[in-house]
Structure 1
Amino acid sequence: MSSHQISHVIFDCDGLLLDTESIYSEVIGALCSKYGHTFNWDLKAKQMGRTERESAQVLIDYFQLPITVDDYVAFTEKGYIEHFPSSKLLPGAERLVRHLHAHGVPIAVATGSSEFKYNLKITNHKELFSLFSHIVFASDDPDVRQSKPCPDVFNVCAERFPGEPPSNKSKVLVFEDAPNGVEASYSAGFPCIFIPDPNLKVSEDVKEKATTILSSLEDFIPEQYGLPAYDS
């Protein structure tokens, strides 16, 4: 992939930098169990990358639950407040973020999360996440009119890099773990490194829209994208 001379990098957060998807599954699974249903990967894939309220509606419609979006949010928020502060970094995340920052590569985060939930998740990782130039929260940001799989969050994030925004979208590399995120990146015109959970069933269409598919951030080779190589 050496044809991509990358100048800026945008990361998703959940399931990509932080191992929060297991927490989402536990908390949402408890809600499903309350109404006699089992949370599954088909449903999870439909929710990934979306705003909280959109994710809530997806689940309510999927199981035809007799609750409102506000009911969903109230139930799940209690679990998130309890569990998100213990979120751990995923393999390769810290090394890559620190490497890019040390070499002056502009980096940012574009997440479907709210700022409130994000701050819970980074409780034990505040110094690392301070290295990002900015964070865009699709659930809160008025400039993000539609969440992933629409391209809004990545376009807004790219436009907010300090100084001159990237002039060439092919030079902005996105890291994603969700099909909705790959769709959003593709629609925005940014190359995308896709790192799906091994439990996730990924369509051939999504695979074709990803620039590269890896099993972990540890497998990313920066120099293949015109980025500085790791020190040996």
Structure 2
Amino acid sequence: MVFSPVTHVLFDMDGLLLNTEDLYTIGFQKIASRFDKHFTFDLKAKIMGQQGREFADVIIRELNLPLTVEEFLNELHGYLEELFPESSVLPGVSKLLYHLHNNNIPIGLATSSSRDTYELKVVKHQELFSLFKYKTWGSSDPEVKRGKPHPDIFFVAADKFPDKPKPEQCLVFEDSVNGVLAARAAGMQAVMVPDPRLDRGLTSEATLVLNSVDEFRPEDFGLPPYPA
């Protein structure tokens, strides 16, 4: 396959850089279990990439939970305060981020998370996430009007680069269907690293689908190759 060369790279976080999607699932199921409901992977796939209030509303409606959005999020936050600091970095992530940083490729974080949950997630990974000079937290940034699959977050994130790259100059890394749709709607190429349980028929909008970040070949997109 032939891909267009890029100069800037944007990264989602949950489920791509860190295993925090698994931790969210634990929290969601704890809430659902109180009402004898089951949080399924199909529901998970539907909400991945959304902002907090958006996914809370969907879960409440889909599972018919007797909670307001605020009640749901407050209960969830209590669980995640314990879970998130134990997050782990996913395979290939450190290698790629340090490689891009060391080769002066501008990188940015474009996560739907809020600033406060981000801080919990990176407690043990400060050095790695310090590589991101430009960060966008979708649930906290007033400029991000709509969550993924809308393109807002990627336009805002790209605009933080001082040289203001065009959308076609940006490559997005995502794990969710909503994230890929947002990247494509922004006019950017999207490398998708989906959960292995996801129906591969839902990955068709991605520019490239990988099983792991470890499989990525930077030179395929005109970026410096890993050293031999």
TM-score, normalising length: structure 2: 0.97
Letter of the structure 2 residue corresponding to residue 199 of structure 1: R
| Displacement after TM superposition at 1:3 (Å) | 3.9
Task: Determine the C-alpha separation between the residues in 2 that align with 1:106 and 1:56.
Answer: 33
Task: Determine the C-alpha separation between the residues in 1 that align with 2:19 and 2:68.
Answer: 28
Residue in 1 aligned with 2:198?
Answer: 200
* Cα-to-partner distance string for 1:96-134 (whole Å, 9 max, x where unaligned): 000000000000010110000001000011111011121
* Cα-to-partner distance string for 1:131-155 (whole Å, 9 max, x where unaligned): 1121101101110000000000001
Residue in 1 aligned with 2:215?
Answer: 219
Letter of the structure 1 residue corresponding to residue 143 of structure 2: D
1:168-179 equivalences in 2 (<5 Å)? 169-179=167-177
Mean CA deviation greater in 87-96 or 37-46 = 37-46
Structure 1 vs Structure 2 CA RMSD: 1.0
Residue in 2 aligned with 1:186?
Answer: 184
Aligned residues: 228
Task: Determine the C-alpha separation between the residues in 2 that align with 1:220 and 1:40.
Answer: 30
Task: Determine the C-alpha separation between the residues in 1 that align with 2:155 and 2:208.
Answer: 20
Letter of the structure 2 residue corresponding to residue 78 of structure 1: G
* Cα-to-partner distance string for 1:179-228 (whole Å, 9 max, x where unaligned): 000110110010000110001224x3x42311000000000000111000
Residue in 2 aligned with 1:14?
Answer: 14
Where structure 2 has 5 or more consecutive residues not aligned to the other structure, the ranges are none
Task: Please state whether the residue corresponding to 1:209 is helix, strand or coil.
Answer: coil
TM-score, normalising length: structure 1: 0.96
State whether residues 133 and 161 of structure 1, in contact with CA within 8 Å, keep that contact through their aligned partners in structure 2.
Answer: no
Residue in 1 aligned with 2:24?
Answer: 24
Task: Determine the C-alpha separation between the residues in 1 that align with 2:2 and 2:169.
Answer: 11
Letter of the structure 2 residue corresponding to residue 148 of structure 1: K
1:1-232 equivalences in 2 (<5 Å)? 1-162=1-162, 164-167=163-166, 169-202=167-200, 204=201, 206-232=202-228
Task: Please state whether the residue corresponding to 1:200 is helix, strand or coil.
Answer: coil
Task: Please state whether the residue corresponding to 1:230 is helix, strand or coil.
Answer: coil
Task: Determine the C-alpha separation between the residues in 1 that align with 2:47 and 2:98.
Answer: 30
Task: Determine the C-alpha separation between the residues in 2 that align with 1:124 and 1:2.
Answer: 38
Mean CA deviation greater in 126-135 or 97-106 = 126-135
State whether residues 2 and 226 of structure 1, in contact with CA within 8 Å, keep that contact through their aligned partners in structure 2.
Answer: no
Task: Determine the C-alpha separation between the residues in 1 that align with 2:63 and 2:208.
Answer: 34
Letter of the structure 1 residue corresponding to residue 13 of structure 2: C
Task: Please state whether the residue corresponding to 1:104 is helix, strand or coil.
Answer: coil
Q: Which runs of 4+ in 1 moved over 4 A?
A: none
